[in-house]
Amino acid sequence: MTTVSLTDVSSYLPGEPVPAAFFTGHPAAEDRLRDSPMFKVPPYRHHVTPEESNTDMIERAVQPLIERHGRAEISRVDVLLVHSQLPDQPFVGSGTEVARRLGLSPRWLVDVANAGCASFVHMLQLARHLLLTGDARTALVCNAQSAAGQLFTQSQVRGLSQAAIPGDGCGVGYLTTSGHAPLLGTESRHIAAYAGDMTMVRDDGRKYWEPGEAQVRIGFTPRGVTDVLDRGNRLVPEVVRALCRRLDVKSAGIDCLITNQPNRTFLENWRKSLGLPAQRHPDTFDRCGNLFGAALPVTLDDAIRSGRIGDGDLVVLAGFAHAGDYAGAAAIRAGGW
């Protein structure tokens, strides 16, 4: 039976670290959410430059894969999946430009718009299905996050509590049908009841593409933040436990848990709920902030390169998206990283 493996992962962070003072030293806007645990400010994050696109970051994140596996091998990728937060262009996704830059001719090319901060898990599941059910044998899954340096640094947004949390970056995963680092299973939930609860708004009521003076921001409200905290605290442990039951392992036996990282409150509550010590739940939050969809592959790459994952370790990737409309988890038996 074919085994699908997460053979390798790599990442890219743009520019020099941006300190918290970039935001905290900016004149503060009136904001009822400033003391919310959702918006405790990390010390650092990275920002894209105005000239840097999602495609640029993906190209740079893939470079270590090319160095380790050879350009010829990467150029033969059969499946290319790309998730971008913030998309560089309306109408046109990033996938075809990524393929052009990297010299790929994939049989499957999909710009994945849903699953947000947990989209890496979603794309692992999609790639695994395509590699198991067709004649595809390799896949490249890419998460690019560029909203921090573009949306959250706007003059009217920068003083809001939400602005200092996000950071920019990119992570990519290379999947093959080799036998090492097998993808043991995935668990995912699309929760339609919460669809639309995360919104982008402008204070003048205009749609994001209509001309006007007001700038686009996320439409956080006190009630909405309470809902997100309640849902997020519950959903991630639920999908991890469900996956562990299917694999017949205890959640406390996870050697390394990698999650998305909206804030320190979620990180602490998730590992406590699953009975894991802090050393088995690495994160990059203090250095990178909330990387949205890129947090999973970037933090996984960081944990591998820093020696926090050993051969044979049970690694679980998990997260939730937006206001809770998706939650997912994936288990991998580490090997050869």
Q: Which domains does the chain have, with CATH numbers?
A: 5-179 (3.40.47.10), 184-333 (3.40.47.10)
Do residues 8 and 180 lie in contact, with contact meaning Cβ atoms separated by under 8 Å? no
CA–CA separation, 300 vs 170, rounded Å? 12
Residues 6+ apart with CB under 8 A from 167: 18, 42, 44, 45, 46, 47, 145, 148, 288, 289, 290, 291
pLDDT at 137: 96
Query: For the residues 39-66, what does the mean pLDDT come to?
Result: 97
Do residues 87 and 148 lie in contact, with contact meaning Cβ atoms separated by under 8 Å? no
Rg of the chain taking only CA atoms, in angstroms: 19
* Element of type H or E holding 186: strand 183-190
pLDDT at 315: 98
pLDDT at 178: 84
Query: For the residues 243-253, what does the mean pLDDT come to?
Result: 96
Do residues 6 and 183 lie in contact, with contact meaning Cβ atoms separated by under 8 Å? yes
Instruction: Please say if the pLDDT value at position 158 is more than 80.
Output: yes
- Please state whether the peptide bond connecting residue 80 to the residue before it is cis, i.e. omega within 30 degrees of 0: no
pLDDT at 233: 97
CA–CA separation, 162 vs 23, rounded Å? 10
**Alpha carbon 142 to chain centroid, angstroms:** 9
The pLDDT tens digits for 119-128 are 999 999 999 9
pLDDT at 141: 98
Instruction: Please say if the pLDDT value at position 48 is more than 90.
Output: yes
Query: For the residues 185-193, what does the mean pLDDT come to?
Result: 97
Residue at token pair 């959702």: 38
Phi first, then psi, for residue 79 (nearest 5°) are -125, 130
Helices of type H across the chain: 21-24, 54-69, 71-75, 95-102, 119-133, 222-247, 264-274, 285-288, 295-305
Share of the chain above pLDDT 70, in %: 100
Mean pLDDT of the chain: 96
Helices of type H across 83-221: 95-102, 119-133
pLDDT at 1: 66
CB atoms within 10 A of CB 141: 27
Instruction: Please say if the pLDDT value at position 2 is more than 90.
Output: no
Instruction: Please say if the pLDDT value at position 3 is more than 90.
Output: yes
What pTM did the predictor assign?
0.97
Instruction: Please say if the pLDDT value at position 142 is more than 90.
Output: yes
CB atoms within 10 A of CB 169: 30
pLDDT at 180: 86
Query: For the residues 143-156, what does the mean pLDDT come to?
Result: 97
The helix/strand/coil state of 322 is: coil
Q: Mind giving me the DSSP string for 13-31? A: --SSPEETHHHHTSPPPP-
Instruction: Please say if the pLDDT value at position 239 is more than 80.
Output: yes
Q: Measured between alpha carbons, how far is residue 275 from residues 45, 308, 317 in Å? A: 29, 18, 16
Do residues 333 and 308 lie in contact, with contact meaning Cβ atoms separated by under 8 Å? no
Q: How large is the greatest C-alpha to C-alpha distance in the chain, in angstroms? A: 60
Query: For the residues 260-283, what does the mean pLDDT come to?
Result: 97
Q: Measured between alpha carbons, how far apart are the two ends of the chain, in Å?
A: 23
Residues 6+ apart with CB under 8 A from 10: 61, 62, 63, 64, 65, 171, 172, 301
pLDDT at 244: 98
Instruction: Please say if the pLDDT value at position 175 is more than 80.
Output: yes
